[in-house]
Amino acid sequence: MTVVAVKKQNGIVSIASDDATTSGYTTISNADNKSFTKLKQIGKYTIAGSGLTSITSLLFMYAKTHLIRENSEEGVLDWFKGFLDWRKEKTGEYGISSNNFIIVWDNKIYEFQDFQVTEIRENYAIGSGRDFALAAMYMGASAKKAVECAINFDSYCSAPVHFFNCIGGKT
C-alpha cells in the first residue's frame, strides 16, 4: 500500500512518495532497517511504483540497462513490453496487473497500468492514498504536501516522504 504523487507546474515536475512497505498486514518501517524505496532516479528517468515491491525492484534493475527508445506513450509501452519479456525470462512470470508505475523523463510524465500508458499533463497519483493526494493537488498542494495529506488519512501510507524536483528532465 502506498502513495506516489506527481505534479507538473511551470516547467517543473515534482514527484513524491511515502515510505510504507507491507507484507500481508504487517508494515515494515525504516525503523526495521528496510532498504527498499518506491521512488528512484535511474539514469535519465525518475521511476516510482505501487504494488508488489518484487516487481518494482525488478523494474528498477531493468531500467539500469535498458533505455526507452522514444519519449512517447508508444515508446514507454514498448519499454514495458520489453520489461515483461525480460521478467518472464528471469522469473517465469508474466504480467504486472497488481502494479502501477510513474515515469518522468525530460519533463514528460507517464503512468503505466495494465498495458495502458498515459501521458500525464498536470497532476496524478497512484496507490492506496491516491484519492487524498489528488484532492490535495486539486486544491493547490505540491506533490510533497499531497503525499503528506495521504499519510495523514490513508492507514496504508506512512512517513517519511521521499521527494524529487525534475527541472528540464534533470533531478
CA–CA dist 109, 72 (Å, integer): 10
User: Concatenated DSSP letters for 57-97?
Assistant: HHHHHHHTT---SSSSHHHHHHHHHHHHHHHHHHHS----T
Read off the pTM: 0.91
Helix (H) or strand (E) holding 149: helix 143-153
pLDDT of amino acid 29 = 64
The predicted-structure confidence for 114-156, as pLDDT tens digits, reads as follows 889 999 999 999 999 999 999 999 999 999 999 999 999 999 8
Question: In Å, how far from its chain's centre is CA 77?
Answer: 15
Spell out the per-residue pLDDT of the chain, length 171, in tens: 799 999 999 889 999 999 988 766 777 766 555 677 899 999 999 999 999 888 999 999 999 999 999 999 999 999 999 999 999 999 998 888 889 999 999 999 999 998 899 999 999 999 999 999 999 999 999 999 999 999 999 998 999 999 999 865 555
CA–CA dist 36, 27 (Å, integer): 13
Exposed (0-12), middle (13-18) or buried (19+): which is 35, by Cβ within 10 Å? exposed
Instruction: Give the CATH superfamily of 4-167.
Output: Aminohydrolase, N-terminal nucleophile (Ntn) domain (3.60.20.10)
Q: List the chain domain ranges.
A: 4-167
